[in-house]
Structure formats: structure tokens, C-alpha cells
Amino acid sequence: RKEVEQDPGPFNVPEGATVAFNCTYSNSASQSFFWYRQDCRKEPKLLMSVYSSGNEDGRFTAQLNRASQYISLLIRDSKLSDSATYLCVVNREDSGYALNFGKGTSLLVTP
């Protein structure tokens, strides 16, 4: 089983739509969870950390379900500029601050 699994997509949605991405992780001891965004041929950039109580940053909402080892990202009112690959990232408890990355979910927002 892979450490972090995501639906690769692609998700094609019209502008203004709401889209949700899901992610599962295998290490129940993981303590830190993140969503990164990666544009084509660019480095990953931190979108948001994911907290146990869930958190929101503008149009983006992240949720964590530790019992199910499941993380989600909700994007409301999608913009063309949201088109990117979204990476689910989980820390590795056995290796300090090392991170495990999912393969990413591709999002294309169309006019």
C-alpha cells in the first residue's frame, strides 16, 4: 500500500464550481498534514496545513479524519488560476521531518 494515495484525476470543472479532492494515508502515527500546489514545471508550493479541527483559508477548506486516515481539500468558486496539481503531503513519524507526497490530483478549471 502506498503511503499517501490520491485520485489522480484530472478534474475538469467550470469556473465558479466547487471541487473536492480526497487523500488517504497509511501511517496512523503521522502528525502533520499539508496540501501543496504544483504548477506545470514548477516547484511545489504550500497551499495550507491541515489541522485536526479542520481549517479554512478563503475559498479553500481542509479537513482531517484521523480515524479513517483521510484528508480532504474543498475549493469553492473555482478560478482559472486554480488549475494545477494538488499534492497531499503527510509527515513520516519514523524520520523526523521527512515528508511523504501523494502523486497529486490534477485540476483544470475552464471558462
Partner 1 sequence: SAVISQKPSRDICQRGTSLTIQCQVDSQVTMMFWYRQQPGQSLTLIATANQGSEATYESGFVIDKFPISRPNLTFSTLTVSNMSPEDSSIYLCSALRLGGQGEQYFGPGTRLTVT
Nearest CB to partner 1, comparing residues 74 and 99: 99
Nearest CB to partner 1, comparing residues 19 and 90: 90
- Min dist CB 16 to partner 1, Å, is 29
Nearest CB to partner 1, comparing residues 22 and 76: 22
Residues that bind partner 1 (CB under 8 A): 31-32, 34, 41-46, 49, 87, 91, 95-99, 101-104
Residues 6+ apart with CB under 8 A from 61: 54, 55, 73, 74, 76
Nearest CB to partner 1, comparing residues 76 and 103: 103
The three grid cell numbers given for residue 86, joined into one nine-digit string: 494538488
- Min dist CB 35 to partner 1, Å, is 11
- Min dist CB 95 to partner 1, Å, is 8
- Min dist CB 109 to partner 1, Å, is 21
